[in-house]
Amino acid sequence: MHRLQINHLTVYQYSDTVTLLPHKLLLRPREGHDIRIESAELSITPAYQLHWQRDVYDNAVALATFTGQGNRLSIASRMLLQRFDNQPLDFLVEDYAVYYPFQYDAAERIDLTPYLSALFEEDLGVLGGWMRQFWYAGQVVETYLLLDWINKAIATGFTYQQREEPGVQTPAVTLNKRSGSCRDFATLFIEACHSLGLAARFVSGYLFSSTLPLGQGSTHAWAEVYLPGVGWKGFDPTSGQLVGNDHIAVAVSRHPESVPPISGSFVADSPQSPIMSVVVEVSPVLGVAMD
């Protein structure tokens, strides 16, 4: 078991007094057998009301509505959690899916249909050319090895660049530039899976890295592939690794542009884009968890 403290502070500074419209917050990790939240605190200014709900993907969504005006919006999330995934390679795929190609069970395929469709159909030609290095028609290969090849090829063959622009690059753009952010790499991996007829989805969350100075962390994005007998298995094409204890999933989605950590808008007499600052700290916590 791995205990982590996550502090996530986002501040928007406006040039003038504004009226804040409702904001959607995706900041609370997805709890389950692999993640348990010990404590969670959310602090927001100016004055607000908070309503919790679940979206269609069962993500925990906090909807903040504001009762006053201001020239600064501050959203601070503080969480202490336990992570249980020390052996990400310890899994068994159903016999019929050990080797690719395979077909999903008919009943499961109905539910997986939204995760099988290409998101950027106009890029299928370019993507197909890149994918021929991993698999060709008539070839039989172990399913995990195929996914591992693609995952590692993105991590080693592309240059990571942090991008502040909203949205994601299309797979064709990422392939052309040979660079991108974590969300761009996740999108490329997901579309690669779609081209193979494998169900895949986008994941946003946090990452703890022991290579960073103590306490530093980051928001992060990766992909999950549905493997029969295993369920949704995480692959991180930024590092080329399987998802494990250092990844904390917050939200999943069919489309990579639909789950930003914070989204909302404002009304002002002379609207200008606010100055945004984000600080994320992810630190290991020693000691025994208290029930």
- The CA R_g of the chain, rounded to the nearest whole Å, is 20
Q: With bands split at pLDDT 50, 70 and 90, how would you rate the model's confidence at 218?
A: confident
The answer on pLDDT for 289 being more than 70 is no
The single-letter DSSP state of residue 122 is: G
Mean pLDDT over residues 24-42, rounded? 95
Other CB atoms closer than 10 Å to residue 193's CB: what's the count?
23
Residue 269 contacts by C-beta under 8 Å, 6 or more apart in sequence?
16
Q: Give the HSE-up count for residue 201: Cα atoms under 13 Å, Cβ half-sphere.
A: 19
Cα dihedral across residues 165, 59, 250, 40: positive or negative: positive
pLDDT at 270: 78
The encoded tokens of residue 110 equal 């109905």
> Model confidence over 132-152: pLDDT tens digits?
999 998 999 999 999 999 999
215: left (phi over 0), alpha (psi -120 to 50) or beta: left
Contact predicate 195/128, CB 8 Å: yes
> Model confidence over 254-284: pLDDT tens digits?
999 999 999 999 998 877 889 999 999 998 8
How far is residue 241's CA from residue 81's CA, in Å, rounded to a whole number? 22
> Model confidence over 165-175: pLDDT tens digits?
778 999 999 99
How far is residue 187's CA from residue 221's CA, in Å, rounded to a whole number? 9
The answer on pLDDT for 287 being more than 70 is no
What dihedral angle (degrees, nearest 10) is formed by the CA atoms of 151, 152, 155, 157? -120
